[in-house]
Structure 1
Amino acid sequence: MTGRGDPRDAGFATPWPLRHNPHVAEAREAALGWLGAFGLLRDEDAAADFTELRLAEAAGWLYPFAGPEDSATAAQMLGWCLLPSGGRPDRVAGGDPRRTAEIAGALIGIVHGEPVPAARRSPAVTAFADLWGRMAGGMSPRLRGRLRHHWAGYFSARATAAADHATGYAHADLDAYLAFRADTVCAYGQLDLAEQWGGAEVPAQLWHHPALARVRRLGADLAAVASDTAEPARARGGDGRGDRGGPPDVVRVVAATRRCTRPEAVRHASVLARRKVAELVALEERALPRLLSGLDERHRYAVLGYPQLVHHRVVAARAWGRVSHPGVRAAQPAPPPSGAP
């Protein structure tokens, strides 16, 4: 098994290599120029944040086979979503749930082809309108429909998360939290993009199959655990008791629901992740091959290659979790390549 767990990590290994996209440097420059042109880099510190948060590298790990233009769009997308000065609706609204819901509504309108009301136009909304045109461009109507559904779900989830934070809502069930977490990070919308940016579109008659749905969910869960239990993420604080100051994450939810310390919660999450890795490997080996009967060569390739897109997300989350958090990101070297790009 390759990709063994780093001793700084939660303690689960994956058999999948981290792959690097060769267009990261160009994508970084394109993303910085784009963010600046739309007013999303307020000062030099914001540009430094983009570089130090390794967002171009993260895009390359997520989409290692994307070409130059798609790599640039991917880096712009992550900048819009994750940069502190970017466009995510709850950040633009300063966490105010009512304003977040209003901005989220305008963004959902964009993905459905509706004009943006004059009162909702802003640098963040205008930037996303430009971004959406390039993300959805060139897709088949069916893939674009999926992308539209998942990105609308992302904006809705960000509005819900803002309301939850304002009311002090605490997640009491880990499985339910992980399902919601997938929406709050647009896990499935980013996976749709992977089919377009270096993968292959899964045929519509199989995309909804329970085996592929489970592959998607396992990948989203593993990415969440990998991100939240990486060393810099764990350094965010607390022993797991009374650690309510920040947004929920996997470790906080486990600590709260199991009434344990943060280190104990990390260990529990590690055990859970190892089980999920084993289940995902078993699905790939046993369940997916039986779906191929009656498919032509192109569709067989898409189905068998779909889990690889999920693998990229999991290992990218682990790599980015190690290097992206404030206070440690500048000191952490980017992980070395593992496997051919």
Structure 2
Amino acid sequence: MHTQTSRPHARQRALLRRAALFDFPASADLSPDTEAARQHTIRWLSRYGVFQDRASAAEYDALRFDVLTGLFYPRASGAELNLGNDLVGWYFVFDDQFDGELGHRPEAVARLVADVIRITEEDEAHGAARGGEGPLLESFRDLWRRINSGRPPVWRDRFRHHWLEYLHSYHREALERTGDLPGPGGGGAPRSVEAVLALRRHSIGVQPCLDLNEPFGGYTLPPALHGGFPLARMREATDDVVVFTNDIASLDKELAVGDVHNSVIVQWQRTGGDLEDAVRHIADLANARYRWFEETAARLPALLAEAGADPDTHAAVARYVDGMRHVMTGNLGWSLRTARYDERGTEAVSDGRQRPWAQLAGAEELIRAGRGASLPSPTGGARHR
């Protein structure tokens, strides 16, 4: 009895000990409408049939994705926060589809990703819902239309570009798991931390979340500013900090399921030695990225002044930088509070067990139909940036 009750506490102590290695804060700056967004998204996902019963909804609710959203967007409220929470909730539901056999079937993954991409190509005014698509695609169509409705074309192209990069990362991960990745050296597990980052910067899903800061803040960054130095590099640093934080927080869970797409695990396998040495190395990388981010943020006002930026541009960039900062510190704050990475979260996915909503994609049918499926290019098409 003592052993059973102490295990969750030991897991939490390990997480807190590892989190103490970070030099940046774990945010507690939560939107006051977080609880309302929590209830909204559970109702929204339930309406589309994501949860089969109350127990499934309760398991999802225990992960408190609404806290992650509330920390990402502490100044958002009402319909805006609801929309952000729907995006975060759908992202995690979608992500859990690949924890089982589907994640090891690249052609089936390509078919599912292509189905989602087709929804992003529908005409907003005339694209009609198709019956029988299932909870995953039907909820995504509703989410996609609400996110893009009334947005300027430059922002919609930016958001879609980032979303397609995120979707395509699932196919690449499946290729790596099966050793089918083309190119020099073949496939297999990532061989370096940089190789992990090259994929995880897309699969972590940070960029679409950052994009929402613009409509929520009532501004749209010009493409040259958004894609130029230093903002583009600051976004990459934000990706890296979130990846490293997530890899440390989810380490025990991913060791339990054998996931190779984790920078700590790759560092540990490459160097040998103690696992905690690898944890410290990855935490040091995160700290270095965050320090560079803050040093660059401090220089931004002078850089903008030298470029002749007007006051509105100064204000928009400041809000955007705050948005990146909220994502980094908010992700750490949520990681310490969610059940996804504690003992309950590890046990929930151990021994082949999947989340109750992890079969929404219809893996068996996708596997049968996926042979020969083609995947649209992540950079092709006039609507891409």
* TM-score normalized by the length of structure 1: 0.84
Matched, 1:209 2:228: yes
C-alpha distance in 2, partners of 1:87/1:237? 14
Aligned to 2:210: 191
Given that 1:227 and 1:320 are in contact with CA atoms closer than 8 Å, whether structure 2 keeps it comes out as: no
Which runs of no fewer than 5 residues in structure 2 stay unpaired? Answer: 1-14, 180-186, 346-385
Aligned to 1:106: 115
**Equivalent residue for 1:308, pick from 322, 332, 346:** 322
Which runs of no fewer than 5 residues in structure 1 stay unpaired? Answer: 331-341
- Which segment is superposed worse, 117-126 or 162-171? 117-126
Matched, 1:79 2:98: no
Structural RMSD (CA) = 2.7
C-alpha distance in 1, partners of 2:335/2:204? 14
| CA distances 1:210-262 after superposition (whole Å, capped 9, x unpaired) | 211110011110111122223xx243375xxxx88124112112212333432
C-alpha distance in 1, partners of 2:230/2:192? 24
Per the TM alignment, residue 99 of structure 1 is displaced from its structure 2 partner at its CA by 1.9
Per the TM alignment, residue 295 of structure 1 is displaced from its structure 2 partner at its CA by 2.2
**Equivalent residue for 1:131, pick from 138, 143, 154:** 143
Which SS does the other structure have where 2:317 is aligned? helix
Aligned to 2:245: 226
Aligned to 1:37: 47
Which SS does the other structure have where 2:19 is aligned? coil
Q: Alpha carbons of 1:87 and 1:223: their partners in 2 closer, same or farther (altered >3 Å)?
A: closer
Aligned residues: 318
Among all aligned residue pairs of Structure 1 and Structure 2, give the percentage whose two residues are the same amino acid.
26
C-alpha distance in 2, partners of 1:105/1:305? 34
* Structure having the higher Rg: 2
C-alpha distance in 2, partners of 1:98/1:42? 27
Per the TM alignment, residue 67 of structure 1 is displaced from its structure 2 partner at its CA by 2.2
C-alpha distance in 2, partners of 1:183/1:287? 25
Q: Alpha carbons of 1:192 and 1:112: their partners in 2 closer, same or farther (altered >3 Å)?
A: same
- Which segment is superposed worse, 246-255 or 34-43? 246-255
C-alpha distance in 2, partners of 1:92/1:66? 35
Q: Alpha carbons of 1:286 and 1:327: their partners in 2 closer, same or farther (altered >3 Å)?
A: closer
Q: Alpha carbons of 1:117 and 1:174: their partners in 2 closer, same or farther (altered >3 Å)?
A: farther
Which is bigger in relative contact order (C-alpha 8 A, separation at least 6)?
Answer: 2
C-alpha distance in 2, partners of 1:120/1:279? 49
Per the TM alignment, residue 107 of structure 1 is displaced from its structure 2 partner at its CA by 1.0
Aligned to 1:279: 292
Given that 2:31 and 2:75 are in contact with CA atoms closer than 8 Å, whether structure 1 keeps it comes out as: yes
**Equivalent residue for 1:158, pick from 170, 175, 178:** 170
Aligned to 1:318: 332
**Equivalent residue for 2:71, pick from 61, 75, 90:** 61
Which SS does the other structure have where 1:248 is aligned? coil
Aligned to 1:169: 188
Aligned to 1:90: 98
Given that 1:18 and 1:312 are in contact with CA atoms closer than 8 Å, whether structure 2 keeps it comes out as: no
Matched, 1:149 2:161: yes
